[in-house]
């Protein structure tokens, strides 16, 4: 995590949306986020898991979460800002306070629905599929959020609860390209070693799962549709997502 020498001081831009004004009303503020996983929200999720008959092992413990965060990010006390790459729901509900937003391209990765989930947008009875980043040709275009150094430790801890709750991602610090220059960003990519990693399924099979899965955060289909709309609003297109959505709509 390095400070971007071409950017402003740790406070970021006065106008967070100066690079992407079209997103000014299309990203949920942290205080209205459905996915800002405070200790209180985490307690609610734990209670819901117990009602489903799941034990404490349904997620990584708080100590395990903090250990994995520290292993990658360290104490975050060196005065450097933190950049976070968003390619899925982070693009409209990052759940963190940020001081700058940029369009960003991550080389050699692509979006895929390749993790089974019974949380959020799936259930134990009807699991859904979570979006991940899989290695591949080309690049994944998304957004990168700048978190000021003074908030980086606190905000990254909240983000870690959301993304690393069950260890389904492999967090990394990777270079991403932005129109304002390259930055090194926190990226949550697929973890092939996880038991719920199913890899890239045939498009028709993926669509069939997404078309019917639903959880406490809504349906799998709604997630896919919202992602495609956000990309379109940025003037971007992802062929995999467009083809997948066409299959989902055809199966309805």
d(CA 45, CA 182): 37
Helix (H, G, I), strand (E, B) or coil at 130: strand
For 209, residues 6+ apart whose C-beta sits below 8 A from its C-beta are: 113, 127, 128, 129, 201, 220
Options 163, 200, 225, 232, the catalytic residue: 163
Written in H, E and C, the secondary structure of 22-73 is: HHCCCCCCHHHCCCCCCHHHHHHHHHHHHHCCCCHHHCCCHHHHHHHHHHHH
What's the sign of the alpha-carbon dihedral 119, 123, 124, 127?
negative
> What is the Cβ-side half-sphere exposure of residue 71, based on CA atoms within 13 angstroms?
10
One DSSP character per residue, 140-171 reads EEEEEEEE-HHHHHHHHHHHHHHHSTTS-EEE
| Among 193, 189, 93, 217, residue whose Cα is nearest residue 143 | 93
* DSSP H or E segment with residue 237: none
Residue 31 annotated in active site? no
Q: Which sequence positions are flagged as catalytic? A: 163
């Amino acid at each position: 995590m390095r400070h971007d020498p071409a950017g402003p001081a740790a406070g970021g831009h006065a106008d967070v949306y100066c690079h992407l004004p079209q997103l000014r009303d299309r990203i949920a503020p942290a205080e209205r986020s459905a996915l800002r996983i405070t200790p209180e929200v985490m307690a609610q999720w734990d209670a819901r898991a117990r009602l489903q008959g799941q034990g404490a092992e349904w997620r990584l413990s708080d100590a395990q979460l903090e250990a994995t965060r520290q292993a990658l990010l360290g104490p975050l006390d060196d005065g450097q800002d933190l950049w976070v790459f968003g390619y899925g729901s982070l693009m409209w509900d990052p759940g963190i306070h940020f001081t700058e937003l940029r369009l960003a391209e991550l080389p050699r990765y692509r979006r895929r629905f390749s993790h089974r989930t019974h949380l959020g947008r799936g259930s134990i009875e009807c699991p859904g599929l979570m979006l991940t980043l899989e290695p591949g040709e080309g690049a994944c275009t998304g957004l990168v959020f700048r978190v000021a150094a003074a908030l980086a430790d606190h905000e990254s801890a909240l983000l870690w609860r959301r993304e690393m709750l069950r260890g389904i991602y492999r967090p990394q610090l990777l270079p991403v390209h932005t129109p304002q220059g390259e930055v090194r960003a926190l990226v949550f990519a697929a973890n092939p070693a996880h038991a719920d990693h199913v890899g890239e399924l045939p498009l028709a099979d993926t669509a069939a799962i997404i078309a019917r899965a639903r959880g406490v955060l809504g349906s799998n289909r709604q997630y896919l549709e919202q992602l495609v709309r956000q990309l379109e609003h940025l003037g971007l297109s992802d062929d995999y997502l467009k083809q997948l959505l066409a299959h989902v709509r055809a199966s309805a």
